[in-house]
Amino acid sequence: MQNDINAIRSRMEAAAQKSGRTVGEITLLAVSKLHSAQAVQEASLHGLTLFGESRVQEAKEKIALLPSTLHWHFIGHLQRNKIRVALPLFECFHGVDKLSLASDMNRIAVETGLTPTILLEVNISGETSKFGFLPEILRDSMERLLSLSNLRVNGLMTMAPYSEDPETARPVFSALRELRDSLEKEYRVPLPVLSMGMSGDFEVAIEEGSTLVRVGSALFGGRT
């Protein structure tokens, strides 16, 4: 595991350097979905502290077994009926893709006194099978999203279409960065986080401005 972590970190560093950035600007989120609490424990002994899960029930059971010093992000698609359980478990929600979902999250966050960070998922490629705001719908929703009292909108997230060749993801990543830049200007808000890049394409994502890469299989091996 230590070798895998070191290898990822040096690839992150090389990608950052190549694009005139420093690796310190980029957060490594270790995606532990479908891997055991024990695997997370081991990763944490090697210095990883931030983990990503995509199913609420699985995460709840895992988190209960692990030290409270670890940090957790939700990277899946959050169902309405899971919001109440999920809110106290995670510091940040990456997959917020509808105004109605954000409103429901905010209502429960107000009730429970929580102030989670959210990242707005964008469907850049426009594939109908994908979750995420279409860019023009996000523009139309932005003011309402920013007005939700207990949600802190911290940036954008996307998933590139699956491909063997990471270069095919590059235009998706650069489009997310450009959308972020233009929303920051238009709404005069900082949107510092760009959550983009996974095991197969995180280097290209870093070259295109990613500040948070979500790496699963390259750290933990395959999922069954």
Footprint of ligand PLP (CB under 6 A): 31, 33, 54, 75, 159, 198-200, 214-218
Tokens read off for 110: 């107000």
Alpha helices in 65-98 (DSSP H): 83-86
If the CB atoms of residues 14 and 189 are measured against ligand PLP, the closer one turns out to be 14
Question: What residues have CB less than 8 Å from 120, skipping those under 6 apart?
Answer: 96, 97, 133, 138, 145, 153, 155, 156, 157
User: Cβ-closest residue to ligand PLP?
Assistant: 216
If the CB atoms of residues 52 and 209 are measured against ligand PLP, the closer one turns out to be 52
Task: State in angstroms the smallest separation of the CB of 147 from ligand PLP.
Answer: 27
If the CB atoms of residues 129 and 149 are measured against ligand PLP, the closer one turns out to be 129
Task: State in angstroms the smallest separation of the CB of 184 from ligand PLP.
Answer: 23
Distance of CA 144 to the CA centre of its chain: 21
If the CB atoms of residues 41 and 217 are measured against ligand PLP, the closer one turns out to be 217
Q: Cβ of 206: how many Cβ atoms within 10 Å?
A: 28
Task: State in angstroms the smallest separation of the CB of 9 from ligand PLP.
Answer: 15
Task: State in angstroms the smallest separation of the CB of 188 from ligand PLP.
Answer: 29
Distance CA 113, CA 128 (A): 36
